[in-house]
């Protein structure tokens, strides 16, 4: 009869106590697995957004973290708005002039001709406007370049693709300025598809739709980014809705301004004039990443604007808030495992008085002291590993059961066998705890006197 079999028979003899001890260990391991899984989901979510395809987010003065959360993750509320003229400053001379001519109206400070255009090179600047909702999902007013120029993934290796339909156009003969693209989670939750229309609500997810409906022309393929949970509408259509125009400012001679607007209107359908436009943020990628810091410092000197590095802010958020919380939870679950190890110690130790005769018989039949010690340690290890395996199954089972909810919130899928690197440390950690828990009962068994055990 080998030592494992002897240890297993000893566990069976104390069936109820052994099962309860295994369950306590299973609870601790399940909590560890769940905490590690949550940490992995959060880490993966941040990792997938560590490269957002641009270097800077330019927005109104306020908290850089709030600007990043609002623009990248569509959390929090917009701080303030910037004049559309600030976006124009990132466009090269021709691009800036063409944009002004296309929109119509007069620029507030005509002497400022693309302050940052020298940094841009072959880079880009994309305006975004926030504040509306489609159901519980954020609506992003932007340009078609959002999906044409931006990339996602840890290294920015993925292009945006459409599961159905196409990208919206700035203007189409069929839908005018009112085209939209929705993330795949939005399409699934709101039960909409290509060809359907929706109205946005202004500043309140529970409010009534306002303005002209937007026609859905495309549904994004899953990306695992916050863009899966957003609806994107043409910026020109966004501006034409009620409540989205800046209060009119008399920037120049009203008669001259009217002539400029009338000229543009005759050439194309009416757009909101330049002097009535604001943006929530501008996504900027200069021609070289080396220019990003210079631009950031220059923008910070402006009285009404700031520039945040999304990668830096996301990294700071992760290291300052997410990591400490994760480690605190791991510490709590480690305490649960230690308490479970103590219960193993107590369970085996309390049984020693009942097993003195059995141990004495083993010794009388020729078993050495070290063999008795090993048997007791094996009991502790088997209980810990049995509880650990059960806890691993429970932890991954709960994670799999919540997979759809996690995917809805983060776009990340959790499979039953999705494992983190740290889970490989669970088995050696349990064995170490089991040995430490079993060492005292094992020493008691080691010191058992044969004659006293047989006489008892």
Structural contact between residues 121 and 287, judged by C-beta atoms closer than 8 angstroms: yes
Residue 15, token pair as written in the block: 């069936």
Query: Which pLDDT score, from 0 to 100, does residue 267 have?
Result: 46
Give residue 307's pLDDT band: very low, low, confident or very high (50, 70, 90). very high
pLDDT (average), residues 189-212? 85
Closest-CA residue to 334 (of 451, 228, 425, 440): 425
Query: Which pLDDT score, from 0 to 100, does residue 126 have?
Result: 95
Residue 454: pLDDT above 80?
no
pLDDT (average), residues 109-135? 79
pLDDT tens-digit series, residues 238-275:
999 988 887 644 444 444 434 443 444 344 568 888 88
pLDDT (average), residues 181-189? 93
pLDDT tens-digit series, residues 265-299:
344 568 888 888 999 999 999 887 778 888 888 88
pLDDT tens-digit series, residues 349-406:
777 766 666 677 776 666 677 777 788 888 888 888 888 899 899 988 988 888 877 7
The upper half-sphere exposure of residue 234, i.e. CA atoms within 13 Å in the direction of its Cβ, equals 24
Query: Which pLDDT score, from 0 to 100, does residue 258 have?
Result: 40
Query: Which pLDDT score, from 0 to 100, does residue 422 have?
Result: 77
273 φ/ψ angles, rounded to the nearest 5 degrees: -60, 155
Out of 208-212, 229-233, 383-387, least confident range: 208-212
Residue 108: pLDDT above 70?
no
Query: Which pLDDT score, from 0 to 100, does residue 419 have?
Result: 77
Secondary structure class of 140 (helix, strand, coil): strand
Query: Which pLDDT score, from 0 to 100, does residue 1 have?
Result: 55
Residue 140: pLDDT above 90?
yes
Q: Percent of the chain at pLDDT above 90?
A: 25
Query: Which pLDDT score, from 0 to 100, does residue 266 have?
Result: 41
pLDDT (average), residues 54-74? 89
Query: Which pLDDT score, from 0 to 100, does residue 142 have?
Result: 97
Only one residue has tokens 């502790």, namely 380
pLDDT tens-digit series, residues 419-441:
777 788 888 888 888 888 888 87
The upper half-sphere exposure of residue 166, i.e. CA atoms within 13 Å in the direction of its Cβ, equals 5
Higher pLDDT: 33 or 289? It is 33
Query: Which pLDDT score, from 0 to 100, does residue 262 have?
Result: 43
- The residue length of the chain stands at 456
Buried b (16+ CB within 10 A) or exposed e, 366-378: ebeeeebbbbbbb
Closest-CA residue to 433 (of 377, 371, 352): 377
pLDDT (average), residues 201-225? 85
């Amino acid at each position: 009869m080998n030592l494992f079999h002897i240890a297993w028979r000893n566990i069976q003899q104390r069936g109820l106590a052994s099962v309860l001890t295994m369950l306590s260990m299973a609870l601790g391991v399940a909590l560890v697995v769940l905490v590690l899984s949550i940490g992995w989901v959060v880490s993966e979510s941040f990792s997938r957004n560590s490269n957002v395809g641009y270097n800077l987010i330019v927005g109104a003065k306020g908290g850089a973290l709030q600007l990043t959360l609002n623009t990248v993750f569509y959390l929090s509320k917009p701080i303030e708005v910037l004049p559309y003229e600030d976006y124009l400053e990132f466009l090269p001379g021709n691009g800036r002039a063409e944009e002004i001519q296309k929109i119509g109206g007069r620029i507030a400070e005509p002497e400022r001709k693309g302050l940052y255009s020298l940094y841009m090179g072959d880079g880009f600047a994309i305006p975004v406007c926030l504040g509306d909702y489609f159901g519980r999902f954020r609506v992003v007013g932007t340009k078609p370049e959002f999906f044409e120029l931006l990339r996602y993934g840890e290294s920015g290796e993925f292009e945006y693709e459409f599961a159905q339909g196409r990208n919206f156009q700035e203007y189409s003969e069929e839908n005018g300025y009112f085209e939209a693209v929705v993330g795949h989670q939005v399409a699934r939750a709101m039960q909409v598809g290509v060809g359907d229309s929706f109205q946005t609500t202004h500043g309140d997810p529970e409010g009534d739709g306002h303005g002209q409906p937007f026609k859905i022309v495309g549904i994004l393929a899953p990306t695992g980014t916050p863009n899966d949970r957003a609806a994107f509408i043409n910026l020109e259509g966004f501006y034409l809705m009620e409540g989205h125009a800046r209060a009119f400012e008399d920037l120049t001679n009203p008669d001259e301004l009217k002539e400029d607007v009338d000229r543009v209107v005759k050439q194309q359908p009416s757009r909101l004039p330049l002097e009535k436009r604001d943006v929530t943020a501008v996504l900027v990628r200069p021609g070289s990443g080396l220019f990003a810091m210079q631009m950031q410092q220059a923008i910070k000197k402006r009285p009404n604007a700031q520039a945040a590095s999304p990668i830096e802010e996301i990294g700071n958020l992760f290291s300052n808030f997410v990591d400490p919380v994760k480690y605190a939870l791991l510490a709590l679950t480690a305490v649960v495992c230690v308490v479970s190890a103590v219960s193993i110690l107590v369970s085996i130790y309390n049984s020693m008085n009942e097993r003195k005769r059995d141990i004495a018989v083993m010794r009388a039949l020729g078993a050495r002291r070290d063999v008795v010690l090993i048997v007791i340690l094996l009991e502790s290890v088997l209980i810990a590993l049995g509880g650990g395996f059960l806890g691993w199954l429970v932890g991954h089972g709960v994670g799999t059961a919540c997979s759809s909810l996690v995917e809805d919130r983060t776009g990340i899928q959790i499979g039953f066998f999705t494992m983190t690197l740290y889970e490989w440390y669970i088995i050696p950690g349990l064995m170490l705890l089991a040995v430490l828990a079993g060492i005292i009962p094992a020493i008691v068994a080691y010191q058992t006197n044969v004659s006293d055990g047989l006489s008892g």
